[in-house]
Homo-oligomer: A and B are copies of this chain.
Amino acid sequence: MKNKSFILKGNIIFSKKLDELLVKENAYLICEKGICKGVFEIIPEKYVNMPVVDCKEKLIIPGLYDLHLHAPQYVFRGLGMDLELLEWLNTNTFPEEAKYKDVEYADKAYSIFAHDLKNSFTARACIFATCHTDSSLLLMEKLEKTGLICKVGRVNMDRNSPDYLIEESAEKSAFETKRFIELALERFTRTTPIITPRFVPACSDELMEKLMGIINEYEIDIQSHLSENSEEIKWVKELCPWTDSYAKVYDRFGMLGSDKYKSIMAHCVYCTDEELKLLSKKGTYVAHSPQSNTNLSSGIAPVRKMLEFGVNVALSSDVAGGHTIDMLHTCMEAVQVSKLYARSVDFKYQALSFAEAFYLATVVGGSFFGKVGAFCDGYEFDALVIDDSSIRSTLDLSCEKRLERLAYLGNSDMITSKYVAGSKI
């Protein structure tokens, strides 16, 4: 659609508040030049000449936002799940990531990733590549062609990494990061760079300082990992005796966000109250990755508690700690692990409802990208049209129930159309 102005007619569902799904059956969703103009029961006079796409009984929902996943790990998703984080990195992850030095290999692997992400429920994503500049740019090129909107990070790692996958110095790492940013900004429009120190154990203080300089120079967003696994946390304590918390290490280098740039910290399974206060104050986004935290035996992140502290919690697949990029499924898993948390860890923190998880995956995740994630006037228009008729039942279900069921039983084959920033992709 060239002018990106059109109307979708159908069963429209989205969130505005944490615990409430808004449902409009047989309603009209207006997209004018890529921008949502809202949901209407009757088409307003000024839009009556727009083309109407009748989605009939299908569901129309916002795109979902995946705030943390690793593109080079996609090829080994669902494999080697019997290890915990640090051993898993050494055994599965680092040997695979090392292959991306070879741009030809990256080409093959990233083609699969980009293809599958395009066809998923995800409209926008924040993605880790590897420490290889050229193949990271190749990933961006492939993502740019999908029509998705992605932030991609060339990974920084200059210490405590295997010989075959380590940058030779903080200086070289920073230099390559700037080269990556410059080339990315020059070549792509929908796909933008994001600063990506792997995690504290893999980044020297010198490197972190240099990255802080780059962040401030470019006013560029940042993504990393925080408090995923007990052994990792212990290690950070040893590496950074000058601080009493993992979060403060990032904060020292300005990496928890500011009014000029945003920050995503993946996991935060074991953050202390003090750390949660800091994340809340800084406006840091926590990328909650329930599937990955389960698969790698990391534990259960206390999402309800984070929300009570006022932290921005979004959802993420964390492929390949997570085994699937299916973000509706991730909503389900956020609900599931929150139930086990309430049952087995701390009953004070009530489990998430499906509506709440959907809010985190759409409204909160979308807000990382601007005015995105809901069908509100002035928001960028991301939408999925979904046909769930292959799930057979005798029941006549409300749209709300059909959406919940999709999180449990749906798959991306049910997507019949996908729009990102008003473009059908």
Binding site for B on A (CB under 8 A): 75-82, 105, 108-109, 112, 115-116, 294-295, 297-300, 323-324, 335-337, 339-345, 351, 353-354, 391-395, 397, 401, 404-409, 411
- Could you pull out 7 A-B pairs where Cβ atoms are within 8 angstroms? A75-B394, A77-B405, A78-B405, A78-B409, A297-B340, A298-B343, A300-B344
Q: Is the CB of B411 within 8 A of A411?
A: yes
Task: Give the complex CA separation of A301 and B358 in angstroms.
Answer: 28
Find the B residue at minimum CB distance from A393.
Answer: B75
Residues of B near A300 (CB, < 8 A) are 340, 343-344
Contacts of A397 in B (CB 8 A): 79
How many chain copies?
2
A156 to B337 alpha-carbon distance, docked (Å)? 33
- Residue on B nearest A409 in the bound complex, by CB: B78
Hey, which chain B residues are within 8 Å of A78, CB to CB? Answer: 391, 404-409
Docked complex Cα distance between A406 and B411 (Å): 16
A345, B341: Cα distance in complex, Å: 10
| A339-B295 in contact given A409-B323, A409-B324 (Cβ < 8 Å) | yes
Query: Which 10 residue pairs across A and B have the least CB separation, nearest first?
Result: A78-B408, A78-B405, A323-B408, A297-B339, A75-B393, A78-B409, A112-B392, A109-B394, A294-B336, A75-B394
With a cutoff of 8 Å between Cβ atoms, the chain B residues found around residue A404 in the complex are: 78-79, 81
Whether B81 lies near A354 (C-beta < 8 A) is yes
CB-nearest residue of chain B to A112: B392
Considering the chains assembled together, what is the distance between the CA atoms of A109 and B342 in angstroms? Answer: 34
A342 to B409, CA, bound (A): 28
What is the predominant secondary structure among interface residues of chain A facing chain B?
helix
* Chain B residues, Cβ within 8 Å of A115: 392
Tell me the smallest distance from the CB of A414 to a CB of chain B, in Å.
Answer: 13
Question: In the bound complex, how far is the Cα of B82 from the Cα of A224, in angstroms?
Answer: 33
CB contact under 8 A between A409 and B116, given known A340-B300, A344-B340:
no
Instruction: Provide the residues of chain B in CB contact with A337, threshold 8 Å.
Output: 340
**Which residues of chain B come closer than 8 Å to A406, judged between CB atoms?**
78
Residues of chain B within 8 A (CB-CB) of A344 are: 299-300, 340-341, 344-345
Provide the bound-state CA to CA distance between A76 and B344, in Å: 27
- Docked-complex contact B81 and A335, CB < 8 angstroms: yes
Instruction: List B contacts of A299 (CB < 8 A).
Output: 340, 343-344
Residues of chain B lying within 8 A (CB to CB) of residue A298: 343
Cα-based distance from A351 to B336 in the complex (angstroms): 18
A415 to chain B, nearest CB (A): 16
Which residues in B have their C-beta under 8 angstroms from that of A294?
336, 339-340
Known: A79-B401, A81-B404, A354-B81. A112 touches B394 (CB 8 A): yes
